[in-house]
Structure 1
Amino acid sequence: MKKQTLLLFALLSVFLMSCSTNMMGDNSKLYDNGWELEYITGPRITFQGLFPDEKPVISFNKSTNMVTGTTGCNGYNTQYKMNGKMISFEVPAMTTMRYCGDGEAVFTKTMQQITNYRMTTDGKLELLMNDVVMMRFKKGM
């Protein structure tokens, strides 16, 4: 009976670890390409209302620990720190200075609240504040 219980426990552990690995993914996938925002939490304004012309994009550079992209309006870059699945971003520096509505402020404020990330089984990048999904990105072009 002990051997069966031990075997069942071992199989259950392997199963749970494989599910966890698939959800969390390999961080090398972060660097494959840019990521296009498809969801952001917070405002009562619709996603299309926040980003009517262009969706924000983020690209990670492993060698410089920098992210670059657009806020849906202006270009930006900033440092990031990563430790396992924990990640944080510095205040983004804008590379252009157009005003395009509230989307940019929502995006940069949300970015600074991020504490960790995960890769989903369907290939999406989720940026979280603790366990709450704050932003979700799909692979960009």
Structure 2
Amino acid sequence: MKKHTLLLIAILSLFVVSCTTNMMAKNDKMYDNAWELEYITGPRIAFQGLFPDRKPVIKFTRNSNMVNGNSGCNGYSTKFTMNGKMISFADPEMSTMMYCGDGENVFRKTMKQVDRYRMTDGKLEFLMGDVVMMRFKPTM
């Protein structure tokens, strides 16, 4: 009976470690790239019209719970919280204060609405519930 119990504990432990390692590997992909926005939900303005000169970029900083990038015009940085597939962002702090149209406000507002993320086909998606709010591609 002891051998069966030990075997069951060993198998269960292996399963838990395997799942944790897989999730960490997926999270590592987030840190390996800067991510360029290719889709955002909501506005009735065409994507190219929102970001005519530069598309927003987000980059996760390892071990600091910070992201930084540009919001299509101005640079920004902010804290993020991640727990499993759940993610949330603090209000982005701007590094410059240029006005470049409505795209930046749409980006910042949408960033505050997301509550989870997923990696799909090499792309990073931010969701609100089950709805994709933003999709990013790696910039390499």
Q: After superposition, where does 1:55-94 map in structure 2 within 5 Å?
A: 55-94=55-94
Q: Distance in 2 between matches of 1:77 and 1:129?
A: 21
Structure 1: runs of 5+ lacking an equivalent: 1-20
Q: Distance in 2 between matches of 1:113 and 1:140?
A: 24
Question: Structure 1 runs of 4+ off > 4 angstroms?
Answer: none
Q: 1:62, CA displacement in angstroms?
A: 2.3
Compare relative contact order (CA 8 Å, sep 6+) and give the higher one, 1 or 2: 1
The number of residues matched between the two structures is: 118
Q: How big is each residue's C-alpha offset from its partner over 1:49-103, in whole Å with a ceiling of 9 and x where there is no partner?
A: 0000000000001211000000010000000000001000000000011000000
Q: Distance in 2 between matches of 1:115 and 1:69?
A: 19
Q: Distance in 2 between matches of 1:62 and 1:127?
A: 19
Paired position in structure 2 for 1:31: 31
Which amino acid is 1:125 matched to?
L
**TM-score, normalising length: structure 1:** 0.81
**TM-score, normalising length: structure 2:** 0.81
Q: Distance in 2 between matches of 1:62 and 1:28?
A: 9
Counterpart secondary structure, 2:136: strand
Percent identity over paired residues: 70
Paired position in structure 1 for 2:124: 125
Q: Distance in 1 between matches of 2:37 and 2:27?
A: 18
Structure 2: runs of 5+ lacking an equivalent: 1-21
